[in-house]
Structure 1
Amino acid sequence: MKESFTDLRVIRTVESIKGALVDLIEEKGFESITVKDITTKARINRGTFYAHYQDKFDLMNSYQEEIMREMSTITKENLPNLIADLHTNDKKVQTIEIAVLIFKFLDQNRRFMKAVLGPNGDLSFQTKLKEFIYKTLFESTDTPLKLENLLVPGEYLVSYIASAHIGVVQQWLLGEGKESPEEMARILSTITLNGPFFAAGLKNN
């Protein structure tokens, strides 16, 4: 019972630290944040902070990696079915399902994603996301995608996919963001599967 209480207390402390980080990014930007700012906002002492993180950069990296691990899990669990569905007449079913899951996850973590992808966040996060997408799609042991099957170099394909998708997510998070995860999944699926010219009404597939 004591161990469970301790675990719960640690979880609450970590969540408090992460919440303080997001609040401070929104208030003053990541570059201006100090560990003292975080401990004051989270109402903890410096020793408690350093028991979990080395500094604010370690905290940021840990939070980002947590987000990317979860997105990687969602992608890996659904990617094989997506590939299979692309060979059928109904291309949208599984794609929308994956996209909905991703957008629901992003919505659950909206404040952090909005803060870190915003102008006062971490500019290196987009580079990390591109690297994450490449590893998830091509370096995972269970990925159905093979570099030798690509029609263009993998790094350019991933750069295009990542930049386009991150841009759509940023527009959703940093704009009014009224669309539901399901609607955003439909929007992204239409562009991804059929191309921007089709989405613009200039081309019929």
Structure 2
Amino acid sequence: MQECVLSTDRRSVRTRQALRDALAREIDATGDLSRVTVTSVTERAGVTRRTFYSHFRDIPDLVTQIEDDALAELRAPLARLAACHLDELRDALDHGRPAPGAAELLRCVRDRGNYLRPLLGEGGDPAFAERIKKVVYEVVGPRALDGLNLRALGPLFDYYLTFAISAEVGVLLRWLDGGMREDVGVMARLMTALMFVRPGDLYDNPIDLDLPSFALAAMCSEEDN
């Protein structure tokens, strides 16, 4: 009896994977998620419509469940990356290594790239990238408060974290859209370095800024007005 259940479970997993991959190929083929139909997905996956409806209500439900699964799988490597201490990060940079956990996170993305790329591309689900940012904020936000300069609490911290997450997710999307040409090791080091780019660094004219003081002065000036 148990073997029968396990066999059924394996078939169910294979079916869902086939439908997931078929959806991705249909997005590529049509260039627009809104044009993808249950019929086109099932034909490409080699399953019946009845089989589709035994797993999903419709195409939006298929998309949501694929995204939910991907986000759940990204949480663990995200948490390990977020757990990195500044001393560990400084040591990694001094030795030309990426942030601890960065390569693991990128491998997780790469291994799912065949369906993440279409879903996150121009013809995919525009809300998916925002969902990724929200999950990153949920995972990274509490950890980023540890040891924070108290002058940075409040709007400055919130805007900084929003800016940093949006930038890193944007780079990730660019990597996916470009076919992940750079290998994981290179990309992990690149994304780590980008976290520390200052205005002028790329033009041999770096600008040093006491960000908390500058932001506090700006906010005080706004309050005075």
TM range (shorter): 0.7 to 0.9
| 1:59 CA displacement | 1.0
Whether the 8 Å contact between 2:81 and 2:101 is mirrored in structure 1 is: yes
- The aligned counterpart of 1:106 is 109
Q: What 5-or-longer segments of structure 2 have no aligned partner?
A: 209-225
Whether the 8 Å contact between 1:114 and 1:174 is mirrored in structure 2 is: yes
- The aligned counterpart of 2:144 is 145
- The aligned counterpart of 2:41 is 38
| 1:101 CA displacement | 1.0
What is the CA–CA distance in structure 1 between the aligned matches of 2:114 and 2:201, rounded to whole Å?
32
2:59 to 48, 56, 61: 56
What is the CA–CA distance in structure 2 between the aligned matches of 1:66 and 1:82, rounded to whole Å?
28
- The aligned counterpart of 2:195 is 192
Give the secondary structure class of the aligned counterpart of 1:54: coil
Residues 197 and 71 of structure 1: is their aligned pair in 2 closer, same or farther, counting only changes over 3 Å?
farther
Whether the 8 Å contact between 1:80 and 1:144 is mirrored in structure 2 is: yes
- The aligned counterpart of 1:90 is 91
| 1:63 CA displacement | 1.0
- The aligned counterpart of 1:162 is 165
Q: What is the TM-score with the length of structure 1 in the denominator?
A: 0.84
What is the CA–CA distance in structure 1 between the aligned matches of 2:70 and 2:203, rounded to whole Å?
32
| 1:197 CA displacement | 3.9
Q: What is the TM-score with the length of structure 2 in the denominator?
A: 0.77
Q: How does 1:62-77 map to 2 (within 5 A)?
A: 62-77=65-80
Residue identity in the other structure for 1:144: R
Q: Which moved more, 1:13-22 or 1:57-66?
A: 57-66
| 1:95 CA displacement | 4.9
- Aligned residue-pair number: 199
Whichever of the two has the greater Rg, that structure is 2
What is the CA–CA distance in structure 2 between the aligned matches of 1:57 and 1:13, rounded to whole Å?
17
- The aligned counterpart of 2:28 is 26
Whether the 8 Å contact between 1:191 and 1:199 is mirrored in structure 2 is: no
1:171 to 171, 174, 180: 174
What is the CA–CA distance in structure 2 between the aligned matches of 1:76 and 1:70, rounded to whole Å?
11
Q: What 5-or-longer segments of structure 1 have no aligned partner?
A: none
Residues 132 and 49 of structure 1: is their aligned pair in 2 closer, same or farther, counting only changes over 3 Å?
same
